[in-house]
A and B are shown apart, each in its own frame.
Chain A
Amino acid sequence: MEKIGEGVEHLLHELSVLTLSGHEVHAGEFVLTNYMFFLLIALVVTFLFFMIGVRKVSLVPESRLGGAIETGVEFVRDSLCIETMGPEGRKYVPFVGTIFFFVLFNNLIGLIPGSKPGTGTMGTTVTWAVVVFIVYNAIGIKRHGVWGYAKSFWPKGVPGPIAAVVALLEVVSHLVRPLTLSVRLYANMYAGHVVLGIFSILGALLLEASGVMKVIAVLPVMLQIVLYALEVFVAVIQAYIFAILTSVYIGGAIHTH
């Protein structure tokens, strides 16, 4: 029992923000942390993926990579942007697409054993969520003017006092959007890695034990494989949710009612 506790403590220490050499980061210090390192790797991978993929552009993509990119970008254009914003969604495909693919690569790189997801820390996800918050509000203000956008929070055809309460609720729901957007992504990635880690600890401890315990170790190892597949699914779904909420927020700012 104590060994499990020790293992979990070690796991949580490994998953916290550390410098590359494994020291703790002190407040106010500027160093390259483990999460920043994998964030940069994801950045390079995303960049190379697209640069190599679109080196030779043709109407019908010749390479497999080109085909994959075309499918991905078409998915962003049709299922994310046009579905939620209407025909004008085309204008925002670059923004939503960048977010979708960068989050996706971050999440997937984090699943390679030994690496961490760049999205597994609050710093990354809060920054992106705040960027999304500023962008969609700026789009709304640019389109309707400051007064027109502010008026869209006030419901029509509702008596005064109730309308005030509804408007207040609307403002609060807008203000918590960056919080929920960032915590959702971070919590999913972090919790997923903790679960995978705990099952590895359980499997390793049972394999070390003697006799019949070694046989029982099959269970956590098998569950680990299933959970890993689930985590791959979660990585893709979370990137999708982050991107679709971004486009829903932009769509809401365009079509105010």
Chain B
Amino acid sequence: MEITGSLSVLGAGFAFGVGAIGPAIGIGMIGAKTIESMARQPEMAGRLQTVMFIALALAEAIALFGFVLAFVLMGQ
């Protein structure tokens, strides 16, 4: 199999792929802890859900930097 294309595409793949590892772990932990807290105090479920989504959005933002960087590298 012949390898074609520029190295910047490889860089773009890595920028998103490697950059998504941390946020993925973070989102998993946020979800796990929220479920744990909801099981302990079901009456707090509504409030917890709101806070969870805000925390999710913050963790996701870091993955998005990799996404933007990937697009920038693709254009090189």
Contact = CB atoms under 8 A, between A and B. Distances in A.
Contact of A183 (B50, B53, B56, B68): B68
B32 interface: no
B57 A79 contact: no
B50 A187 contact: no
Contacts of A187: 64, 67
Contacts of A83: 46-47, 50
A227 interface: no
Contacts, number: 31
B61 interface: yes
Interface in A191-232: none
A165 B50 CA distance: 29
B53 A241 contact: yes
B61 A180 contact: yes
Given A244-B54, A245-B54, A248-B54, A184 B47 contact: no
What bracket does the count of chain A residues touching chain B fall in?
10 to 19
Contacts of B67: 183, 187
A38 interface: no
Interface string A172-198: 000010011001100100000000000
Contacts of B46: 79, 83
A142 to B, nearest CB: 24
Given A79-B46, A183-B68, A244 B53 contact: yes
What bracket does the count of chain B residues touching chain A fall in?
10 to 19
Interface in B8-59: 46-47, 50, 53-54, 56-57
A141 B15 CA distance: 38
Given A79-B46, A83-B47, A184 B54 contact: no
B61 A244 contact: no
B50 A84 contact: yes
Nearest to B67: A187
A80 to B, nearest CB: 9
Contacts of B60: 180, 184
26 contacts: A79-B46, A79-B50, A83-B46, A83-B47, A83-B50, A84-B50, A176-B61, A180-B57, A180-B60, A180-B61, A180-B64, A183-B64, A183-B67, A183-B68, A184-B60, A184-B61, A184-B64, A187-B64, A187-B67, A240-B53, A241-B53, A241-B57, A244-B53, A245-B54, A245-B57, A248-B54
Contacts of B56: 241
Nearest to A244: B53
A183 B62 CA distance: 11
Contacts of B50: 79, 83-84, 244
Contacts of B64: 180, 183-184, 187
Contacts of A179: 68
B57 A184 contact: yes
Given A83-B46, A245-B54, A245-B57, 11 more contacts: A79-B50, A179-B68, A180-B60, A180-B64, A183-B67, A183-B68, A184-B57, A187-B64, A241-B56, A241-B57, A244-B50
